[in-house]
């Protein structure tokens, strides 16, 4: 089984946004620390040694562009800039300064997590392939194999399975799935049930059950011995 343990530093002064981003990243298997400003950035770069920094631009004290310069001078960490500034000049300034990606507010958590994951994979910090039993999920290639057979999934089914694979062995609730895959916290939970059923039907057609229902809690992807 492949373990995902990349370290992500979130620097976001809006506590609610920072907490939501940190929670979503932890649920995707990352080790996360959240800071409200960049006062201890140098210390974090030396001690926490993040593989990637989610960096807000509008921060008290040193802004995101100044912090980006510090990161680029002293670390090989990836940087995803996060800001309400969505203009082309700011995007160009961030990207020309060495940012790997740029996400404007408001955003869907699932998209941000996907962008973080993509940058980490490009940097070689996390694997794109996860194996659970005889099921292999390659998020980068969009390929799912079971016992050597290719399984065709829709785009939404693939996102759902990639999320379950990242959480393999852990029970995730319908609300967590909705937030991570669709970006909703309050929505019809039947949406999850329908797609879980479709994924189950396709990946379990030629093998034992992998997606298990934990009554009253949610779902877990695991291979029972």
Write out the two tokens for 56: 């807000």
Rounded CA separation 8/81 (Å): 13
Say which residue, 84 or 142, is predicted with more confidence. Answer: 142
Q: Which CATH superfamily is domain 7-123 in?
A: Response regulator (3.40.50.2300)
Q: Are strands 129-132 and 149-150 parallel, antiparallel or unpaired?
A: unpaired
pLDDT at position 150, please?
93
pLDDT at position 127, please?
65
Averaged over 169-194, what is the pLDDT?
82
Contacts of 159 (CB under 8 A, 6+ apart): 110, 181
Delimit the CATH 3.40.50.2300 region(s) of the chain.
7-123
CATH architecture under which domain 129-221 falls = Orthogonal Bundle (1.10)
Give 51-81 pLDDT, tens digit per residue. Answer: 999 999 989 999 999 999 999 998 999 999 9
Write out the two tokens for 205: 């057609």
Q: Are 80 and 24 in contact (CB under 8 A)?
A: no
Give 137-164 pLDDT, tens digit per residue. Answer: 987 778 899 988 999 999 999 989 988 9
Q: Please report, to the nearest 10 degrees, the dihedral formed by the alpha carbons of residues 198, 203, 208, 210 taken in order.
A: -80
Question: Which of 34, 179, 49 lies closest to 107 in space, CA to CA?
Answer: 179
Q: Which residue's structure tokens are 């008290």?
A: 60
For the chain, give the number of residues.
225
Question: Which of 120, 129, 76 lies closest to 98 in space, CA to CA?
Answer: 76
Residue 149's beta-bridge partner residues?
A: 146
> What are the phi and psi torsion angles at 175 (to 5°)?
-65, -40
């Amino acid at each position: 089984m492949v373990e995902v343990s990349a370290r992500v530093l979130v620097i976001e002064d809006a506590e609610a946004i920072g907490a939501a981003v940190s929670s979503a990243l932890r649920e995707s298997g990352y080790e996360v620390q959240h800071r409200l400003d960049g006062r201890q950035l140098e210390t974090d770069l030396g001690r926490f040694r993040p593989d990637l920094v989610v960096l807000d631009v509008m921060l008290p004290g040193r802004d995101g562009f100044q912090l980006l310069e510090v990161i680029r001078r002293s670390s090989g960490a990836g940087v995803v800039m996060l800001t309400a500034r969505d203009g082309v000049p700011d995007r160009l300034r961030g990207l020309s300064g060495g940012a790997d990606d740029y996400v404007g507010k408001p955003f869907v958590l699932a998209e941000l997590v996907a962008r973080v994951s993509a940058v980490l994979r490009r940097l070689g910090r996390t694997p794109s392939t996860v194996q659970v039993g005889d099921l292999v999920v390659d998020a980068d290639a969009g390929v799912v194999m079971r016992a050597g057979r290719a399984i065709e999934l829709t785009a939404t089914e693939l996102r759902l399975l990639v999320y379950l694979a990242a959480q393999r062995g852990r029970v995730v609730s319908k609300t967590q799935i909705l937030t991570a895959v669709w970006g909703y916290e309050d929505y019809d939970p039947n949406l999850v049930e329908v797609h879980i059923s479709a994924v189950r039907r396709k990946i379990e057609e030629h093998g034992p059950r992998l997606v298990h229902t934990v009554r009253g809690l949610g779902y877990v992807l695991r291979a029972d011995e």
